[in-house]
Amino acid sequence: MQREVIGYSKMAQELIEQQLTTSPFFFASPSNTLFGAGVAQEFHQPIPFADLANQATTMLQAAKKDDADNPLLFGIVPFSDDNPTRFVIPEKLYVSSSTRGNQPRPNMVSQAKLISSPSGQQYRQGVEDLLEMFATTGLSKAVLSRAVEVATHEDIPLQNLLNNLLAINSRGYTFAANTQDGAKLMGASPELLVAKKGSHLISNPLAGSRPRSESEALNEASRLSLLNTQKDLHEHGLVVEEVERVLSRYCHNLYTPMVPSVIETQTMLHLSTVLEGQVSDPHLNVLQIAADLHPTPAVCGYPREDAYQAIRKIEQFDRGYFTGMVGWCDARGNGEWVVTIRCAEVQKRQMKVYAGAGIVNESVPQSELDETGAKMGTILSAAGIQLNDLLTA
């Protein structure tokens, strides 16, 4: 696999502008940007999550030209292993520093309409159903999601959409990946599932959220509320405890802050905890740890299997890659995998947008519906689509 380091201007002005539609993947972290060109190897089929790391390692070893070579594999992994995982090793990898200095593009879509959307009442009823389960079963948390399909009168310019996602997600992870059906999976995830650099391991689970306001006074009130509301602290604690349990199997010197902090995106405020440690086996592929973590209580629930069964019963759609994971790993086991949220499947004149909210015993159905609408706003606003009132009705 060829690898070339380029300037961020060339990345933004040439590759994204001219080759994004044909590129198998684009992935930007806060510090660097990866752009794949061509496909040297590809894997696309259902696979148990426990086998992901072995499959990736087999492909990466086959791609090595010599012992010192360090090829990179990009992947999108679904929420359920009944759906296909997609791995790609590109023919050429372009790498640059952050491309996030670009200015947002003007709104691209002047007219759009909902063509498929469950009613707000359906979602609120799903929350009520979960609250009943909490009272009668051992289920403590479940993440209830919904999907909205939007049709536009004009073509959706992928380059502009990606540029806007980069501009509004400067501290997160932005991605664009080809799917098998010809759509682009595009999004701006704030949530790092796990990253490994040498022996250093880091995870940043998020749970407990508030919509962000244009008023800084209201945002400050929301920050204080997140840090002082038992419902949000309980929801966040379930996620952190599970991530800590999994990481402790692979790490020594694992550090977990005792209390969360608050981070914010353009549309949301989240409770956040950063866990860090040193892996006991530095040769371990980060994808093995990611697969063990996935899906965390932040996107599924707790206990995991009980939450998964509740989701299958209540949700009336297939999540596909939503609430899966997206990222990369190399032949030395390094890599970054993020939770596939704040995303949409984008076609020429259509978008399927996803969002979910963590439901616990203290949840209020309308508040959870409002939260999903605010989360959908991340990618809809990047595309210039304003449907806020319709998303929370």
Question: What is the 3-class SS of 154-203, one letter each residue?
Answer: CCCCHHHHHHHHHHHCCCCEEEEEECCCCCEEEEEECCEEEEEECCEEEE
Tell me how far apart the alpha carbons of residues 389 and 290 are, in angstroms, rounded to a whole number: 37
pLDDT > 70 in the chain, percent: 95
Catalytic residue from among 184, 191, 242, 345: 191
* Per-chain mean pLDDT for the chain: 93
Which CATH number does 2-103+113-391 carry?
3.60.120.10
Tell me how far apart the alpha carbons of residues 294 and 170 are, in angstroms, rounded to a whole number: 25
* ω into 257 cis (within 30 of 0): no
Nearest of 246, 188, 239, 208 to residue 49 by alpha carbon: 246
Whether residue 330 has pLDDT greater than 90: yes
Tell me how far apart the alpha carbons of residues 45 and 128 are, in angstroms, rounded to a whole number: 36
Check: CB of residue 144 under 8 Å from CB of residue 134. no
- Can 184 be counted among the known catalytic residues? no
**Among the listed ranges 97-111, 206-220, 256-270, 328-342, which one has the minimum average pLDDT value?**
97-111
Structure-block tokens of residue 287:
């994808």
Catalytic residue from among 10, 14, 65, 141: 141
Tell me how far apart the alpha carbons of residues 289 and 335 are, in angstroms, rounded to a whole number: 11
Whether residue 334 has pLDDT greater than 90: yes
pLDDT attached to residue 106 = 56
Tell me how far apart the alpha carbons of residues 10 and 5 are, in angstroms, rounded to a whole number: 10
What phi-psi label fits residue 24: left (phi over 0), alpha (psi between -120 and 50 degrees) or beta? Answer: alpha
CB atoms within 10 A of CB 254: 17
Q: What is the pLDDT of residues 95-149, one digit of tens each?
A: 999 876 555 565 566 577 888 776 789 999 999 999 999 999 999 999 999 999 9
Q: What is the pLDDT of residues 13-35, one digit of tens each?
A: 899 999 999 999 999 999 899 99
pLDDT attached to residue 101 = 58
Mention every residue, 6+ apart, whose C-beta is less than 8 A from residue 305.
none
373 alpha-carbon distance from chain centroid: 17
Q: What is the DSSP letter of 50?
A: G
Tell me how far apart the alpha carbons of residues 376 and 380 are, in angstroms, rounded to a whole number: 6
Q: Would you place residue 154 in the very low, low, confident or very high pLDDT band (cuts 50, 70, 90)?
A: confident
Rounded to 5 degrees, φ, ψ at 371 are: -65, -40
**Among the listed ranges 47-56, 273-282, 369-378, which one has the minimum average pLDDT value?**
369-378
pLDDT attached to residue 107 = 56
- Can 191 be counted among the known catalytic residues? yes
pLDDT attached to residue 27 = 98
Q: What is the pLDDT of residues 352-383, one digit of tens each?
A: 999 999 999 999 999 999 999 999 988 988 88
Q: How far is CA 240 from CA 31, 193, 203, 274, 299, in A?
A: 25, 11, 10, 9, 13
Structure-block tokens of residue 269:
């405020």
Check: CB of residue 379 under 8 Å from CB of residue 373. no
Q: Which element (helix H / strand E) includes 42?
A: strand 41-46
Whether residue 389 has pLDDT greater than 60: no
Q: How far is CA 95 from CA 11, 27, 102, 287, 328, in A?
A: 8, 10, 17, 21, 13
